[in-house]
């Protein structure tokens, strides 16, 4: 089997491309949230705000470009695998109808799997791959069949595709020779575990035992964003989890993730998720 996986949930569309064909299945358990084969008509630019981190799709027909606000456009032509690794606003411009095979995954197991195998990818990456659509069509067949073991079977297929994608990435992407990826992995681990207790980037660098400017350069290089933006993202993601998983007051959650002022927290949360913390809790 070969490459795939992802995590991304679209919470907002400014424009919507014409859906020419859609075979989509939503699942409620396991790592796989949604698997789909879709064909989108020409439209552009389409702006999407993706809420979670990972989105992977195989382009088997058509032509399009995808662009994050601070990056150059990335060309999508078959056979291409598109991997997006950062929550952000993306602009999609479809010049020829595109045939997309998509996998959406979520949850702690998916996060651990993807972080382990795809750590260090830039925010937008494309890789040539001929087999991903076949892997996703296998997931579609399992989803259609259903049954008591469907989620477990889908999880095994997702894991196999992730390993395949990692192998393909290692074949086509240059590997850093300066040890920066290993250092970034340590930096990221500290942020993932301690973000709520880190007041600023200086404290983050001190916790990692490296210079602040060196940390900032590595985060920009491997995560495609500023260090403070990355740190704030981790705090807000933790806050979102606490809103759903606990009954704590919003002020208490703000304090727990490092915001002294609940108003400042609510403003940052609204900017990140498109809604106030209270509405986020009620909606989900």
The CATH number given to whatever domain includes residue 275 is: 1.10.10.60
pLDDT at 53: 59
Q: Are residues 43 and 103 in the same domain?
A: yes
Q: Are residues 35 and 157 in the same domain?
A: yes
Q: Is the pLDDT of residue 147 over 50?
A: yes
> What's the average model confidence in pLDDT over 110-133?
71
Q: Is the pLDDT of residue 113 over 80?
A: no
pLDDT at 252: 92
Distance of CA 16 to the CA centre of its chain: 20
| CA 56 – CA 101 distance, rounded (Å) | 9
> What's the average model confidence in pLDDT over 117-143?
74
Q: Is the pLDDT of residue 125 over 60?
A: yes
DSSP state of 72: -
Q: Are residues 78 and 47 in the same domain?
A: yes
Report percent pLDDT > 90 for the chain: 5
Final residue of a structural domain among 172, 200, 227:
172
Query: Measured on CA atoms in the order 213, 214, 216, 220, is the torsion positive or negative?
Result: positive
Range of the domain at 267: 180-283
Q: Are residues 193 and 165 in the same domain?
A: no
Q: Is the pLDDT of residue 1 over 60?
A: no
| CA 281 – CA 284 distance, rounded (Å) | 6
Q: Note whether residue 151 is domain-resident.
A: yes
Neighbours of 194 (CB within 10 A): 15
Q: Note whether residue 165 is domain-resident.
A: yes
Q: Note whether residue 1 is domain-resident.
A: no
Find, among 114, 160, 152, 154, the residue nearest to 34 by Cα: 154
Q: Note whether residue 3 is domain-resident.
A: no
Q: Is the pLDDT of residue 6 over 70?
A: no
DSSP state of 176: P
How many independent structural domains does the chain possess? Answer: 2
In the block, residue with structure tokens 């045939």: 99
What 3-state class would DSSP assign to 70?
coil
pLDDT at 59: 83
Residue 135 CB burial class (10 angstroms; 0-12, 13-18, ≥19): buried
Q: And the tokens for 144?
A: 């259609």
Task: Say if residues 22 and 184 touch (Cβ distance below 8 Å).
Answer: no
Residue with the bigger pLDDT between 66 and 253: it is: 253
Neighbours of 146 (CB within 10 A): 10
Give strand ranges (E) for the chain: 10-13, 19-26, 32-40, 43-50, 55-68, 74-76, 80-84, 89-105, 124-128
Q: Are residues 186 and 141 in the same domain?
A: no
Q: And the tokens for 4?
A: 């795939």
Find, among 62, 64, 19, the residue nearest to 40 by Cα: 19
> What's the average model confidence in pLDDT over 148-155?
78
Q: What is the pLDDT of residues 184-243, one digit of tens each?
A: 888 888 888 888 888 899 989 888 888 888 888 888 877 777 889 889 888 988 898 888
> What's the chain's average pLDDT?
77
pTM for this one? 0.56
Residue 175 CB burial class (10 angstroms; 0-12, 13-18, ≥19): exposed
Q: Is the pLDDT of residue 277 over 60?
A: yes
pLDDT at 100: 81
Residue 178, CA atoms < 13 Å, CB-side half-sphere: 4
Q: Are residues 30 and 168 in the same domain?
A: yes
Final residue of a structural domain among 172, 191, 217:
172
Q: Are residues 27 and 139 in the same domain?
A: yes
Q: What is the pLDDT of residues 69-87, one digit of tens each?
A: 667 778 888 878 888 776 6
Q: Are residues 197 and 225 in the same domain?
A: yes
| Per-residue confidence band for 263, with pLDDT thresholds at 50, 70 and 90 | very high
Q: Note whether residue 5 is domain-resident.
A: no
pLDDT at 238: 87
C-alpha to C-alpha distances, 201 to 110, 166, 226, nearest whole angstrom = 27, 30, 10
Q: Note whether residue 56 is domain-resident.
A: yes
Q: Is the pLDDT of residue 268 over 70?
A: yes
> What's the average model confidence in pLDDT over 36-45?
78
pLDDT at 9: 30
| CA 44 – CA 101 distance, rounded (Å) | 20
């Amino acid at each position: 089997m070969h490459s795939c996986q992802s995590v991304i949930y679209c919470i907002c569309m400014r424009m919507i491309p014409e859906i020419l064909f859609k075979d989509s299945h939503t699942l409620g358990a396991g790592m796989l949230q949604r698997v789909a084969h879709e064909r989108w008509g020409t439209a552009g630019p389409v702006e999407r705000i993706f809420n979670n981190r990972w989105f992977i799709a195989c382009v088997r027909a058509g032509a399009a470009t995808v662009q994050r606000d601070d990056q150059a456009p990335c060309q999508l032509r078959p056979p291409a695998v598109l991997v997006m690794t950062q929550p952000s606003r993306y602009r999609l411009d479809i010049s020829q109808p595109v045939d997309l095979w998509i996998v959406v995954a979520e949850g702690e197991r998916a996060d651990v799997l993807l972080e382990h195998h795809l750590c260090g990818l830039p925010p937008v990456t494309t890789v040539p791959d001929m087999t991903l659509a076949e892997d996703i069509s296998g997931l579609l067949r399992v989803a259609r069949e259903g049954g008591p073991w469907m989620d477990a079977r889908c999880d095994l297929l997702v894991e196999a595709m992730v390993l395949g994608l990692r192998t393909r990435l290692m074949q086509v992407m240059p590997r850093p020779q300066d040890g920066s990826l290993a250092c970034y992995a340590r930096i990221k681990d500290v942020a993932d575990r301690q973000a709520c207790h880190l007041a600023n980037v200086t404290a983050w660098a001190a916790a990692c035992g490296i210079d602040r400017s060196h940390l900032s350069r590595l985060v920009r290089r491997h995560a495609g964003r500023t260090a403070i933006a990355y740190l704030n993202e981790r705090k807000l993601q933790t806050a979102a989890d606490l809103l759903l998983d606990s009954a704590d007051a919003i002020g208490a959650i703000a304090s727990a993730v490092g915001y002294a002022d609940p108003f400042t927290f609510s403003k940052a949360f609204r900017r990140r998720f498109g809604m106030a913390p209270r509405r986020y809790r009620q909606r989900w």
